[in-house]
Amino acid sequence: PKTKLLKLKLEELDLKNVLILVDDLDKNIYLSSRNLAGVEVKSVNTVDPVSLIGNDKVLATFGALKRLEEALS
């Protein structure tokens, strides 16, 4: 749950303006990302089209992709 660790990982992946999509919003990921500019965290339940197209990249967990796929089918 450290902002520094998340920032290092995002830099390693070359992600600047990114939406992190998770299956269940975790307190640690929220706390780690809230002070990072250009980083938005949303759960599958709260994601909206504006968030999806408003960011350059989307980083999603496997569980989030499965839940999104189920919701759209």
List pLDDT tens digits, range 33-73: 999 999 999 999 999 989 989 999 999 999 999 998 998 88
pLDDT of residue 34: 92
pLDDT of residue 1: 72
Q: Which of these, 72, 63, 53, lies nearest to 22 by C-alpha position?
A: 63
Report d(CA 17, CA 30) in Å as an integer.
16
pLDDT of residue 71: 85
| Threshold 0.85, pTM exceeds | yes
